[in-house]
Amino acid sequence: MREIIIIKLAFSVFTTRPAVHSQQGISILKCMHNLFFVDYIGLSLYLALATATLIIWIVYIALHTKGVLTLKDLILPSIAEIPMSAEIALILLHPLFWILSLGICSLFLVSLLFTTQQQLIAYDWLMFAFSLIIFFALFDPFTVWLLEGRLREPLRFIMGSMSYGVLCALAAFFINSFLGIWLNEFIDPTLGAIVLLSLVPFLEEILKMVGVVAFTGHRLFRGPLDGLLIGFSIGAGFALTENLFYIITKIPAYSLDLLIFRALYNTIAHGAFTAIGGAVLGKIKVNFGSMSLLLVSTAVFIAALVHTAFNILAIVDIVGVKSLVLNYYIFSPLLVIALIIVVVYLIYYSKKSARASEVIEKKTENSSMQKE
């Protein structure tokens, strides 16, 4: 009987109209409280435990991974005799950069909390929402990392990439805000909104892809598989900051369906946008050996195009639900599912190409040894 109630609760989250978002969310969570005898704070503690378990599991796997160092150089990376082209990547991979990035983001979010009317803040809801968003922001890139198998990169690549993505989201927030104010001053507000919506995906993907380009200078960046993981991690870091911002400023308390949409779908989407562009950059490096502005622009354009498609479908979903044409969001979640399939295929294709390259290298080495 309890299982049937849980299934009905889960289904109702995705079939609720915006007009009853908050009330439905409160009812659902009261039922969850009765079923599991926990409140928001209890759920937050469970999510914190799950996140800690995930980190311990990843560290354990990293310790038992053969080949490229994955944990030994996590905190104390070697920086001796590094070529000039890799210096920016080393900055992004350094633990001090991670601390700086997360510190800046924390100060920004805390300032938002203090500027929000304190009586309107539901702290139990906020604690739960933060826990869920952080969990998926870590779970998604680590899942991609695990899918790469023995070809996976050092663990610090995820940390450095996510830290860069966090800063990207802050930079995008200020750039988009300034651009929106400027457009409203000089052109019609409606036209300004359309122009801003058209430019935002390109601005955000340019910022994120700059990070991927920076990582290509590192000696361990070998091809599409590396670009895919770095791009996905940057996107996850970007989504982490963006989702926390939306929870504090825009999403009503106890809107469980909107929280799940942001924490789950939005994180995967942002990761996939940049992962696709990162895989293209990795392929460019393998084929051409260097990065030209034209080739990099191609990767950025592909990522921004997918990003634009997601935004358009999200708007269609919102308008459809508000006008009662649709009962729930359908188009943007379907695109996210398609993006998951594309990312999994790119991982499979990149692993296959990497293994083929290894076979060719071994054959070349053996033939050279036989000639000697």
What's the pLDDT tens digit per position in 98-107?
Answer: 888 888 888 8
Nearest one of 218, 212, 224, 214 to 73, comparing CA atoms:
218
Q: What is the DSSP string of 44-83?
A: HHHHHHHHHHHHHHHHHHHHT--SS-SSHHHHS---TT--
Q: Are 8 and 35 in contact (CB under 8 A)?
A: no
Q: Quick one: the chain helix, strand, coil %, rounded to 5?
A: 85, 0, 15
What's the pLDDT tens digit per position in 239-281?
Answer: 999 999 988 888 777 788 888 888 999 999 999 999 999 999 8
Q: Assign 89 a pLDDT band (cuts: 50, 70, 90).
A: confident
Please give the pLDDT value at position 231. 94
Nearest one of 213, 224, 232, 227 to 351, comparing CA atoms:
224
Q: Read off the pTM.
A: 0.78
**Averaged pLDDT for residues 344-360:** 79
Please give the pLDDT value at position 109. 86
**Averaged pLDDT for residues 232-243:** 95
Please give the pLDDT value at position 342. 93
Q: Give, in order, the Cα–Cα distances in Å from 114 to each of 28, 132, 133, 154, 318.
A: 29, 22, 20, 38, 30
What's the pLDDT tens digit per position in 296-317?
Answer: 888 899 999 999 999 898 888 8
- Model confidence at 21: pLDDT above 50: no
Nearest one of 138, 143, 171, 291 to 221, comparing CA atoms:
291
- Model confidence at 18: pLDDT above 50: no
Q: Assign 95 a pLDDT band (cuts: 50, 70, 90).
A: confident
Please give the pLDDT value at position 362. 63
- Residue with the larger pLDDT of the pair 177 and 291: 177
Annotate 277-287 with b (16+ C-beta within 10 A) or e (fewer).
bbbbbbbbbbe
Rg (CA), the chain: 22
Q: Are 280 and 301 in contact (CB under 8 A)?
A: no
